[in-house]
Structure 1
Amino acid sequence: MSSGQNSGGLMSSAGLVRYFDAEDRNAIKLDPRTVVAVGILFGILIIILQATV
């Protein structure tokens, strides 16, 4: 790669790092296990509803 070319890898990701690193006091904070548990329960509910139809 010549010195004139800039891949922009680090510079282009800098804005994303700043965006995702920011803490918002109003944001909803959920435990990842809660999200997985709700997903599993939702899937079981769908299976039960399909079985009854």
Structure 2
Amino acid sequence: MSKKSSSGSGLMSSAGLMRYYEADKKAIHIDPKSVLVFGVVIGFAIIMLNAMYGLWP
């Protein structure tokens, strides 16, 4: 019988692939509520600038 080598099995199964939890550690995390608040603030600023410069319909 032949012996299976456990040292090479992990390397061949993940050749060139990054695991999800490794990619998640390096990502920038932003709270969804802060994205919504930022969008509302920017939208309000655009509306106010349009009103101040006479571009409001």
Fraction of identical pairs, as percent? 36
User: What is the correspondence of 1:37-48 to structure 2 with a 5 Å cutoff?
Assistant: 37-48=37-48
Ranges of 4+ aligned residues in structure 1 off by more than 6 Å: none
Instruction: Please give the TM-score of this superposition, normalised by the length of structure 1.
Output: 0.53
Q: Indicate the residue corresponding to 2:34 in structure 1.
A: 34
User: Which residue in 2 is equivalent to 1:3?
Assistant: none
Larger radius of gyration: 2
Match of 1:49 in 2: 49
Of Structure 1 and Structure 2, the greater helix share is in 1
- Runs of at least 5 residues in structure 2 that lack an aligned partner in the other structure: 1-18
Name stretches of at least 5 consecutive residues in structure 1 with no aligned partner.
1-20
Q: CA deviation at 1:41?
A: 0.3
RMSD: 1.8
